[in-house]
Amino acid sequence: MGCKVLDSLKEALVQLDAAKVEELLQESLSSHLDPMEILNALRSGMEEIGRLFENGEYFVSELVMAGEIMKGALEVLKPRLKTERESTGRIVLGTIIGDLHDIGKEIIKSLLISAGFEVYDLGVDVPPEKFVEKALETGAGIIGVSALLSTSIANTADVVKALEKAGIRDRVKVIVGGAAARQWMIEKYGVDAAVNDAVRGLEIIKEWAKKNGTA
């Protein structure tokens, strides 16, 4: 019974059926299924959505919708999840100063949360120093900088400089993501990765966290 409900929950998420996800989520909880098993079913659904996006079957609008559904489901599950659950890693996230766009940030945030990361979202128009302050405060080993505008993405270089000034550049990875992100920025701005694909960004971050162990 439990497996059937969880399979249906995953499928409802993949189909972007928010009402069905909510219904099956409540049914799963009423049936006293393990909240972690419920979360894993939702994660599996998000991974499938990521594959559909990579294959060109889903687009940014579907990713945004899936993120919103996932966010709602997580709000219901959070109080029931064991607080001692080990996180995948910690990441500081924000849209760089000079840019007020947050769609891309919200997409990767949803993917990160569903993958088990502790995400510290600084919002939009974030000064470089704020990223570093939060990394120091939380012990996060990864900083994710979102940028849509080519005019603002150059400010990512200042995040790297601020990390160097704080003496923690060697233990904090920096990934820049968004429509304006290009591979040449790795060398020019000193970041560790640059992607304009949220799913690929998640893969890179997960690889870093796995290697680091304490991201």
Q: What's the pLDDT tens digit per position in 64-105?
A: 898 889 888 888 887 776 544 556 899 999 999 998 888 778
Which comes out higher in pLDDT, residue 152 or 143?
143
- Same domain (yes/no): 58, 136: no
Same domain, 130 and 180: yes
Same domain, 96 and 177: yes
The domain boundary, picked from 47, 80, 113, lies at: 80
What CATH number does residue 131 fall under?
3.40.50.280
Please check whether residue 158 is in contact with residue 165, taking contact to mean a CB–CB distance below 8 angstroms: no
The pLDDT, as a whole number, for residue 82 is 55
> How high is the pLDDT of residue 215?
47
Q: Is the distance from CB of 87 to CB of 118 less than 8 angstroms?
A: yes
Residues 190 and 114 in one domain: yes
Q: Where residue 32 sits, what CATH number does that domain have?
A: 1.10.1240.10
What is the domain extent for residue 76?
2-80
pLDDT attached to residue 83: 46
Q: Are 162 and 194 in contact (CB under 8 A)?
A: no
Same domain flag for 58 and 140: no
Same domain, 67 and 153: no
> Nearest-5° angle of CA 87, CA 134, CA 175?
70
CA–CA distance from 122 to each of 15, 84, 109, 155, 186 (Å)? 31, 24, 11, 16, 23
Residues 74 and 103 in one domain: no
Side chain identity, residue 51? R
Same domain, 94 and 74: no
What is the arithmetic mean of pLDDT over 15-32?
Answer: 95
Give the count of beta carbons closer than 10 Å to the beta carbon of residue 21.
Answer: 26
Count of alpha carbons within 13 angstroms of residue 139, beta-carbon side: 5
C-alpha count within 13 angstroms, C-beta hemisphere, residue 91: 33
- Classify the C-alpha dihedral 78-83-84-87 as positive or negative: positive
Residues 152 and 63 in one domain: no
Q: What are the structure tokens assigned to 30, written together? A: 């009423």
- Clarify whether residues 141 and 93 are in a common domain: yes
Q: How many domains does the chain have?
A: 2
